[in-house]
Amino acid sequence: MTLGEVKTLAGVFLQGDNSKAEIDDLIVKSAIYEVATRCEPLKLLNEVDDSATDVFRKLLDDTLYVRKPNIGGDDDELDIDTDLQTAVVFFICAYLSFKNKDYYEKKAEKVISIYKTNNLNVS
């Protein structure tokens, strides 16, 4: 999904709840960071290098780190694993929903849980 598609999909989910929500890049960045905090997206894993400037967080084994995701423009692909993109959408909805914050957060957590199960021992 592109950044623009993520914003559009979140807007569709928010219809009838917060249909006037403005989904800016900072909200999307926050949602991507939330996902990258709760799991280790394979697309964002790099080997530890003392000169690395894009470290988001190091993993416990100190050989890998999760790099900061790039946000890009509306036509750019979201810089996170495809299987986690809907979690980003659901976190955006959780941030902006008036009525369904818990529902969207649980949906995001479910996507992350499935991702972790499917990628167990891959990283």
Residue 123 lies in a domain: no
Q: Return the bridge partners of 66, or none.
A: 45, 57
pLDDT at res. 123: 47
Task: Enumerate residues 6+ apart whose C-beta is below 8 A from 70.
Answer: 76, 79
Residue 17 lies in a domain: yes
Share of the chain above pLDDT 90, in %: 75
pLDDT at res. 63: 82
Residue-number span of the structural domain to which 100 is assigned: 3-118
Residue 47 lies in a domain: yes
Residue 108 lies in a domain: yes
- Give the number of domains in the chain: 1
Q: How large is the average pLDDT for residues 42-64? A: 81
Tell me the pLDDT tens digit for each residue of 59-97: 767 788 888 999 999 999 999 999 999 999 999 999 999
Residue 8 lies in a domain: yes
Tell me the pLDDT tens digit for each residue of 90-112: 999 999 999 999 999 999 999 99
